[in-house]
Amino acid sequence: MRKARQIIGMIFIAPVFIVLALVAMAAGGALHLMHAERASEKTIHFILSFLIAWIFIWFGIRLHVSGKENIPAWGERVCYVPNHQSIIDIPVLYASGMWCGLVAKKELFKIPILHGLLRSLKCVAIDRSSLRESLKSIIEGSDKIKKGYPMGIFPEGTRSKTGEIAEMKAGAFKMATRAKAKIVPVAMKNTRMTFEAADSLRPVHVYVKIMAPIDTSVMDEEEIKSVHSVVEKEVKDAYASLPGPYERA
């Protein structure tokens, strides 16, 4: 079934991605040159929302989101921390209302068109093979948060191959704690069933639970040291409570 999903992507999604990505970058770039930063961001998000809807149609994704009231207002210092299972996680995150720059592996920034789109979305490239370069990326992301642009990071470091949530690395939380940001834990379930672990072409119910923000600006040193464990437990508990891919809550 994964092969079928790949074929669908190449035939029906890739051409639309190229066109809408170029349109989003052009429109957003023009507004950026006019110093209309917020209008630029909203325009990019608006155009990309059509691409995400198209992806959902062809991959049969039925999205269910709870906790949208926990999304902080734009301009606050925010870091979204979701679990990571699929390449579909990013469009699901955005479709759930959590538009943000993401810390993404540097290899993605070498792909034509995608490179420009990632930059337009304020994403940050990270080289996991170098501790020094990784730290520079975390600092770059932290600085973006301080300027009021929401960021996101997948603290497991890589996609889960089993569907289980792996250990969340403490270092991934330094982007949020350094900026004294609000950490928003996010549990996403069944995204693997839309692509990596697809077993049919049936519609898949994808569930997202957005939890209450954790304000790191009021934490003491000991609380900051253990915040990754707190978030990991919240995400795992929420994940366990969500339904399966073909179930309705």
pLDDT digits (tens, 9 = 90+) for 144-174: 999 999 999 999 988 888 888 999 999 999 9
Tell me the pLDDT tens digit for each residue of 15-33. Answer: 999 999 999 999 999 999 9
For the chain, give the mean pLDDT.
93
Residue labelled with tokens 């890589």: 158
Task: List, in sequence order, every residue forming a beta bridge with 21; answer none if it has no partner.
Answer: none
Q: What pLDDT is stored for residue 207 in this prediction?
A: 97
User: What integer pLDDT is reported at residue 75 of this predicted model?
Assistant: 92
Structure tokens at 110: 């070498």
By C-alpha distance, which of 243, 235, 240 is closest to 204?
243
CA torsion angle 62 67 68 69 (round to 10):
160
The two three-digit tokens of residue 218, written as one number: 């009021």
Pair 223, 245: CB distance under 8 Å: no
Amino acid at the residue 50: F
Neighbours of 130 (CB within 10 A): 12
- Report the pLDDT value the prediction gives residue 245, as an integer from 0 to 100: 85
Whose tokens are 């600006």? That residue is 217
Please, what are the domains in the chain?
62-241 (3.40.1130.10)
Residues of the chain with pLDDT under 70: 1, 249
**DSSP reduced 3-state for 247:** coil
Instruction: Indicate the pTM of the whole model.
Output: 0.94
